[in-house]
């Protein structure tokens, strides 16, 4: 059976498709400024003043390109807002749960009212829904996605496995995304801007020191290196970090053996953590890093090892 795209409990929050309405005309109501909406068990679309709505602090998406907002605004000008915004009441105002792009586009158009559906939701449910809405539309950049997962882990004390279940992703996807947040701020900026790919970032994470990571990122950018070329660069730097540069042929071996570098990269992907593979003449060592007891337990589970 396929895993549902929505997290546990979100089906109740969503209440089905926002467009689903009972037979007959859709029940629209208008709320005057300062009035409090009365909760309704039905999917009731209400028209509210745009000025009453405020953005949600849990919104994982931070970048809203002006050109895409203008395109959406043009569409709304022609067709109207087809899908109502989802909001909750917070301290006398309405806080967005889903639909910030539509809200921003409505502001561009100077609309005074917008259709909304009022829901009751706690902070965790709001963050889950905001993440899911953006992930399903592939609107988040890799850093926004990682920061959204980190919010679920840090603010609500969820394990990575629980986060993965809630957002309909694999545990490895969540773990690899969170690893991006270990990179220096400058490198995170390159990823956010699209100058470095996630593939490049995963390779650079193989370096231990922040100085070496920054150096590798600059070399990749200046040289226009692809991911495979970046692997060779990182292998040379790893050999230097481990003192391998003093052993004859050690750096050359790591650089030349692309198969070893590929295996190392696959292990990083699978385990969602730093992995260093040393190999020469049929011998070597595999080093797997972990940064907490919970992460060690997660790695052991992936490897099928019972920690009890």
51 is an active site residue: no
Please state whether beta strands 85-90 and 93-98 pair in parallel, antiparallel, or not at all (unpaired): antiparallel
Through-space distance between the first and last CA atoms of the chain, rounded to whole angstroms: 31
Contact 100, 61 (CB under 8 A): yes
Residue 15 CA to its chain's centroid (Å): 24
Looking at 95, 100, 128, 231, which residue is catalytic?
100
Give the tokens for residue 39: 């909760």
Q: What is the C-alpha to C-alpha distance for residues 38 and 36, in angstroms, rounded to an integer?
A: 6
Q: How many CB atoms lie within 10 A of CB 40?
A: 12
CA distances in angstroms from 233 to 203, 230, 268, listed in the order given: 9, 5, 17
Contact 277, 239 (CB under 8 A): no
Q: How many helices and strands, by DSSP H and E, does the chain display?
A: 14, 8
Partnered with residue 90 across adjacent β-strands are 93
Q: What is the C-alpha to C-alpha distance for residues 250 and 242, in angstroms, rounded to an integer?
A: 10
Contact 117, 46 (CB under 8 A): yes
Q: What is the C-alpha to C-alpha distance for residues 249 and 20, in angstroms, rounded to an integer?
A: 67
| Nearest residue to 121 via CA among 56, 35, 45, 77 | 56
Q: How many CB atoms lie within 10 A of CB 178?
A: 20
Q: What is the C-alpha to C-alpha distance for residues 231 and 262, in angstroms, rounded to an integer?
A: 8
Contact 60, 145 (CB under 8 A): yes
Which residues are marked as active site?
100
């Amino acid at each position: 059976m396929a895993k549902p795209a929505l997290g546990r409990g979100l089906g109740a929050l969503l209440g089905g498709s926002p467009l689903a309405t009972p037979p007959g005309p859709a029940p629209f109501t208008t709320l005057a400024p300062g009035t409090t909406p009365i909760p309704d068990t039905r999917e009731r679309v209400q028209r509210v003043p745009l000025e009453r709505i405020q953005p949600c602090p849990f919104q994982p998406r931070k970048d809203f390109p002006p050109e895409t907002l203008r395109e959406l605004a043009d569409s709304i000008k022609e067709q109207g807002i087809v899908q109502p915004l989802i909001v909750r009441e917070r301290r006398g105002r309405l806080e967005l749960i889903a639909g910030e792009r539509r809200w921003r586009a409505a502001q561009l158009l100077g609309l005074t009212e917008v259709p909304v559906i009022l829901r009751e939701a706690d902070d965790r449910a709001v963050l889950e829904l905001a993440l899911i809405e953006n992930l399903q539309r592939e609107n988040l950049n890799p850093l926004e996605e990682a920061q959204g997962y980190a919010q679920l882990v840090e603010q609500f004390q969820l394990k990575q496995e629980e986060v993965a279940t809630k957002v309909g992703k694999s545990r490895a996807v969540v773990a690899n995304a969170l690893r991006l947040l270990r990179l220096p701020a400058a490198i995170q900026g390159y990823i956010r801007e699209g100058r470095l790919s996630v593939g490049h970032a995963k390779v650079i994470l193989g370096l231990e020191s922040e100085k070496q990571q920054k150096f590798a990122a600059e070399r990749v950018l200046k040289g226009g290196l692809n991911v495979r070329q970046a692997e060779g660069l990182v292998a040379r730097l790893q050999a230097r970090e481990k003192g391998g540069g003093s052993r004859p042929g050690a750096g050359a071996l790591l650089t030349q053996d692309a198969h070893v570098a590929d295996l190392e990269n696959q292990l990083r992907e699978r385990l969602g953590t730093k992995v260093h593979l040393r190999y020469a003449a049929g011998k070597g060592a595999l080093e797997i890093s972990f940064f907490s007891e919970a992460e060690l337990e997660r790695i052991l589970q992936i490897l099928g090892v019972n920690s009890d």
